[in-house]
Amino acid sequence: MKPYIYITRKLPSEVAEAIQAKYEVGMWGKENIPVPKALLIEEAKKADALLTMLSDPIDESVLNAGDRLKVVANLAVGFDNIDLKTADKRGIAVCNTPDVLTDTTADLTFALLMATARRIVEASELVRQGKWKSWSPLLLAGHDVHHKTIGIVGMGKIGETVAKRATGFDMEILYHNRSRKLEAERNLGAVYSTFEELVSQSDFIVCLTPLTDSTKNLFSREVFRKMKKSAIFINASRGPVIDETALYEALVDKEIAGAGLDVFEKEPISADHPLLKLPNVVALPHIGSSSIETRMTMMRLCLDNIDAVLSGKDPLTVVNKEWKVRV
């Protein structure tokens, strides 16, 4: 009997076909709708491996559903949707997809920064809606990006890659991180700052920090009040890092100039979300790593991790280093 892999989202046929000779594969048949929790638990009861999305809650009820599960491969760098303590207790390897999406996510982050600064979405809608009647000196005038100060909160690999892109715009680079990044300081001219210094001095504050107990609601109303009134806030990390009510109030009260958001506290958001009512907010549907090339690479890495564990080998990118497959 072949080991059974369950995939929680519809993947391209060429990806799934590559493993069907060796494994039995089950797959949720819809691309844009999450697998129902009850069905996920039923599949987990018989699965040797799960290939999951960041939006799937892989909690205790899923991990304890059966006695065959050996590996969960998450199609993301983040893994805050997975109960690591239970996975460790059950001897289940949890894998992610680091490194392969660094450049792509940095591209999107900087694109979001530029779109927000230069009011690209507003300008496009003006044309599409037939409201462009004439040229005027300050028609949809935005903010320059070049020669400004960018402050990066969370200087991991993606943060460093965003900083690299900022050098092309002759930007001053501040960063805040749990540890100093001396190589980035040498090679990119990045300057380590306290969180308070970065927030108050930066023209663009870019949030790339992971979601932890200490970073949840890191960006509060008090923090937004410390920013420049001309500051633009960008979040491409995790939604709960921001107090969304505080951000909304800061924008309405003109305490900051704008925000570009690829992530939200609860996803997907509804069309009546307060932040979507504001013209100085650019909102994207969590597409940081969404290029064809990168997403295909991520899928294959997930399957390579699964194949390694089910073949008795060490996975390529394991999160919980102390995992041990149950005998």
Q: Of 165, 176, 238, 295, which one is the catalytic site residue?
A: 238
β-bridge pairing 93-95 and 149-153: unpaired
Q: Of 9, 90, 176, 286, which one is the catalytic site residue?
A: 286
**SS3 for the chain, per residue?**
CCCEEEECCCCCHHHHHCCCCCCEEEECCCCCCCCCHHHHHHHHHHCCEEEECCCCCECHHHHCCCCCCCEEEECCCCCCCECHHHHHHHCCEEECCCCCCHHHHHHHHHHHHHHHHCCHHHHHHHHHCCCCCCCCCCCCCCCCCCCCEEEEECCCHHHHHHHHHHHCCCCEEEEECCCCCHHHHHHHCCEECCHHHHHHHCCEEEECCCCCCCCCCCECHHHHHCCCCCCEEEECCCHHHECHHHHHHHHHCCCCCEEEECCCCCCCCCCCCHHHHCCCEEECCCCCCCCHHHHHHHHHHHHHHHHHHHCCCCCCCECCCCCCCCC
Question: Which token pair is 277?
Answer: 């009512």
- The question of whether 238 is a catalytic residue gets the answer yes
Q: Of 17, 267, 293, 326, which one is the catalytic site residue?
A: 267
- Do 191 and 185 touch, CB atoms closer than 8 A? yes
- Do 262 and 235 touch, CB atoms closer than 8 A? yes
- The question of whether 286 is a catalytic residue gets the answer yes
- The question of whether 265 is a catalytic residue gets the answer no
∠ Cα 291 296 298 (to 5°): 95
Which of 76, 64, 59 lies closest to 295, judged by CA?
76
- The set of catalytic residues is 238, 267, 286
